[in-house]
Amino acid sequence: MWGFLVRRGLYNVFVLLGVSLLTFGLIFLTGDPAAALLPLGTPPEQIESFRQQMGFDRPLLVQYGEFLWRAVQGDFGMSVRFRESAMLLVVERLPATLKLAGAGMLVALLVSMPLGVLAATRRGSWVDHLARFVAMLGQTMPGFWLAIMLMLVFSVRLRWLPISGAEGWQSLVLPALVVAATPIGSMTRLLRSSLTEVLTRDYVRTAYAKGLANQIVLVRHALRNALIPVVTMLALQVGYLIGGAVVAEVVFAYPGMGRLAVQAITNRDITVIQSFVMVTAALIVTVNMFLDVIYTLIDPRIRYE
């Protein structure tokens, strides 16, 4: 187990190195990094002196080495717009985004778990049809449009919830629903299909034959096994949660790192985007490591050697 975690950790360091190469490459995509980092309309002489000051005229490998060395220390340079450390700007907004993503995950679990179980145990009933409909909706609903529709109904028409901001739990409800929409669809669908399959297994029939109560068979024998693919899916959902958070934060003017990143793009504030990309990658890698451990808890058959 520990050996596995160490090896996995080393591999993740490698993955993060890869991501850092990508982030480093971002400023070169435009062809001229000095021009990319400065505001539009900067005079050429100034760009030239900035190029020398930043060392963009040196060999790429040297530049990458320095970028990496500073990145390890959390230094991605200054934000052009805020005149502050870019990394600090992102990290300051990280807790708000985590809160939103966490709330979204919670909503997604609270909806998809019961719905998936009911759909699988009552195939062909109205719950089953509802589950399929919800799954389809989650797949097709554009998050930003859902956000506006929710706003229209709950904030404008009914006046139940605030239209934007981040004060109190009320302002978290609508953004969390938007973040949860896609995961609700995919998790309901997956749980429904995996539980349906598990319920046909011999050990479930044996459990029933022993005379065990319905609930016990369902929870102890069926659900535990059906949840394994769902946990795998959960790891993939983290990405969707962050992606959904970007959209939800923008629509509801929620002060998270996704909104900062989108603002940074409009301001051509590349260092902030670089920091955002690295923080997101680190976050996802960490969550995945954590889920690997959870695996062993729900399924003793999985042992990492």
- The contact set with another protein (CB under 8 A) reads 14-16, 18-19, 22-23, 26-27, 29-30, 36, 136, 139-145, 148-149, 151-152, 156, 189, 193, 239-240, 242-243, 246-247, 250-251, 261-262, 264-266, 268, 270, 273-274, 276-277, 280-281, 284-285
Question: Toward another protein, which CB reaches closer, 82 or 212?
Answer: 82
Q: What would the 3-class secondary structure string for the chain be?
A: CHHHHHHHHHHHHHHHHHHHHHHHHHHHHCCCHHHHHCCCCCCHHHHHHHHHHHCCCCCHHHHHHHHHHHHHCCCCCECCCCCCEHHHHHHHHHHHHHHHHHHHHHHHHHHHHHHHHHHHHCCCCHHHHHHHHHHHHHHHCCHHHHHHHHHHHHHHHCCCCCCCCCCCCHHHHHHHHHHHHHHHHHHHHHHHHHHHHHCCCHHHHHHHHCCCCHHHHHHHHHHHHHHHHHHHHHHHHHHHHHHHHHHHHHHCCCCCHHHHHHHHHHCCCHHHHHHHHHHHHHHHHHHHHHHHHHHHHHCCCCCCC
* C-alpha to C-alpha distance for 235 and 6, rounded to whole angstroms: 19
CB of 167 to another protein, least distance (A): 20
CB of 207 to another protein, least distance (A): 24
Question: Toward another protein, which CB reaches closer, 145 or 160?
Answer: 145
Question: Toward another protein, which CB reaches closer, 19 or 130?
Answer: 19
Question: Toward another protein, which CB reaches closer, 25 or 65?
Answer: 25
Question: Toward another protein, which CB reaches closer, 17 or 219?
Answer: 17
CB 260 within 8 A of CB 276: yes
CB 260 within 8 A of CB 273: no
Question: Toward another protein, which CB reaches closer, 47 or 148?
Answer: 148
At 215, which amino acid appears? Answer: Q
Question: Toward another protein, which CB reaches closer, 141 or 212?
Answer: 141
CB of 7 to another protein, least distance (A): 14
CB of 1 to another protein, least distance (A): 22
Question: Toward another protein, which CB reaches closer, 187 or 207?
Answer: 187
CB of 242 to another protein, least distance (A): 5
* C-alpha to C-alpha distance for 262 and 94, rounded to whole angstroms: 14
CB of 206 to another protein, least distance (A): 25
CB of 215 to another protein, least distance (A): 25
* C-alpha to C-alpha distance for 129 and 131, rounded to whole angstroms: 5
CB of 300 to another protein, least distance (A): 27
